[in-house]
């Protein structure tokens, strides 16, 4: 009998959402994604700790910011030995509202990969989906640096990313689910809000319908899952990036995972064209309390973990 993970692979590119090299080796994803929180977790494991020590030893006199990027790229290089596709490496979240800063750090990350013999076609540079981040991605994409727009919670963010012609977006499922569950409190009905009725699933499905209806080539990679039901409800999405724990559950469960999203159905949807200018973006984002709050929260969390990584780097200097 086919596992649900293998069945999912028939219609969706499976991506591992982790910096854990052993988990990537075990689950054989096509691509892998990382972020500051995942790298922070990974450096506290044996293999990750060895990478940190090596980076600091080989570049002892480099500024902390450079060492941080070198560490992220070191993980990426090791991951690319295990996956046939791409790795996503995140620009420092502390630059989320700095267009020029994002551009310069992204160029630096790509340069480090190229010095390691990795072509830019195998790297996605992750940038927060703020207005400033999206404009940085516009510049980078024009230079042939492919971008993965993260911390994306709303259609207006997705539309602005499409206008910037980014390579890929990562709309979050679980964090949207978290927000709505918290808002509902004791009135939350888990069974009624599962599967296609999950608010995070509905958000990604809406973006999928919009992109496919209007022929937008930007790839959609659902992210931030809380349970396998959310993953199954988005089968057919271009890509899904999944934690090792949920990959394990899918690999151990038998059965088919039929596609729930198809380009043919999406093209028949009633999605309406949305403007992508800055004023429309900021107004629509402001009107969406969930997206506004989760974007701000996500940036704060990634910044906090980047600061912790800085601390580990400094400690490794001795």
- pLDDT of the residue at 318: 80
- pLDDT of the residue at 1: 77
- Residue 218: which domain range? 4-317
Contacts of 119 (CB under 8 A, 6+ apart): 113
CB 125 within 8 A of CB 86: no
Per-residue tokens: 96: 């989320």
* Phi, psi torsion values for 24, nearest 5 degrees: -65, -45
- Look up 126 and say whether it is catalytic: yes
3-state secondary structure of 198: coil
CATH no. for residue 307? 3.20.20.70
What's the number of domains the chain is made of? 1
The whole-angstrom separation of Cα 61 and Cα 303 is: 24
Q: What is the largest CA-CA distance in the chain?
A: 61
Q: Which of 81, 126, 182, 212 is catalytic?
A: 126
- Host H or E run for residue 168: strand 168-171
Over the chain (318 residues), what is each successive 10-residue block's mean pLDDT? 95 97 96 95 94 96 97 98 98 98 98 98 98 98 98 98 98 98 98 97 98 98 98 98 98 97 96 97 98 98 97 93
Per-residue tokens: 288: 């969406």
* Phi, psi torsion values for 209, nearest 5 degrees: -60, -40
Residue 92: DSSP 8-state: P
Other C-beta atoms lying within 10 Å of the C-beta of residue 302: 23
3-state secondary structure of 118: coil
Asked whether the whole model's pTM tops 0.95, one would answer: yes
3-state secondary structure of 218: coil
The whole-angstrom separation of Cα 27 and Cα 248 is: 8
Residue 120: DSSP 8-state: G
Q: Nearest to residue 41, comparing CAs of 23, 61, 62?
A: 23
Per-residue tokens: 252: 């151990």
């Amino acid at each position: 009998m086919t596992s649900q993970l293998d069945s999912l692979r028939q219609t969706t590119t499976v991506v591992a959402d982790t910096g854990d090299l052993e988990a990537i080796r075990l689950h054989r994803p096509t691509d892998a994604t990382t972020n500051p929180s995942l790298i922070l977790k990974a450096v506290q494991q044996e293999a990750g700790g060895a990478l940190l020590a090596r980076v600091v030893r080989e570049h002892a006199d480099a500024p902390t910011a450079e060492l941080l990027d070198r560490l992220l790229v070191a993980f990426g290089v090791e991951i690319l030995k295990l996956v046939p596709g791409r790795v996503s490496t995140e620009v420092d979240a502390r630059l989320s509202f700095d267009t020029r800063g994002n551009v310069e750090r992204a160029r630096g990350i790509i340069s480090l990969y190229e010095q390691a013999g990795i072509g830019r076609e195998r790297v996605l540079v992750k940038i927060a989906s703020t207005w400033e981040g999206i404009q940085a991605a516009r510049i980078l994409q024009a230079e042939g640096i492919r971008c993965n727009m993260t911390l994306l919670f709303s259609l207006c963010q997705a539309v602005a990313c499409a206008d910037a012609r980014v390579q890929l977006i990562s709309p979050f499922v679980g964090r949207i689910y978290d927000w709505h569950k918290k808002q509902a409190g004791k009135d939350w009905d888990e069974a009624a809000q599962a599967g296609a009725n999950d608010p995070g699933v509905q958000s990604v499905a809406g973006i999928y319908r919009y992109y496919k209806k209007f022929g937008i080539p930007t790839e959609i990679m659902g992210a931030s899952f809380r349970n396998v039901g959310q993953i199954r409800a988005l089968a057919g999405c271009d890509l899904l990036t999944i934690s090792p724990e949920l990959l394990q559950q899918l690999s151990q469960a038998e059965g088919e995972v039929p596609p729930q999203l198809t380009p043919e159905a999406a093209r028949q949807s009633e999605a309406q064209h949305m403007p992508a200018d800055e004023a429309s973006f900021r107004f629509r984002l402001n009107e969406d309390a969930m997206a506004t709050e989760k974007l701000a929260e996500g940036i704060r969390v990634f910044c906090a973990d980047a600061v912790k990584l800085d601390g580990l780097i400094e400690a490794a200097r001795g």
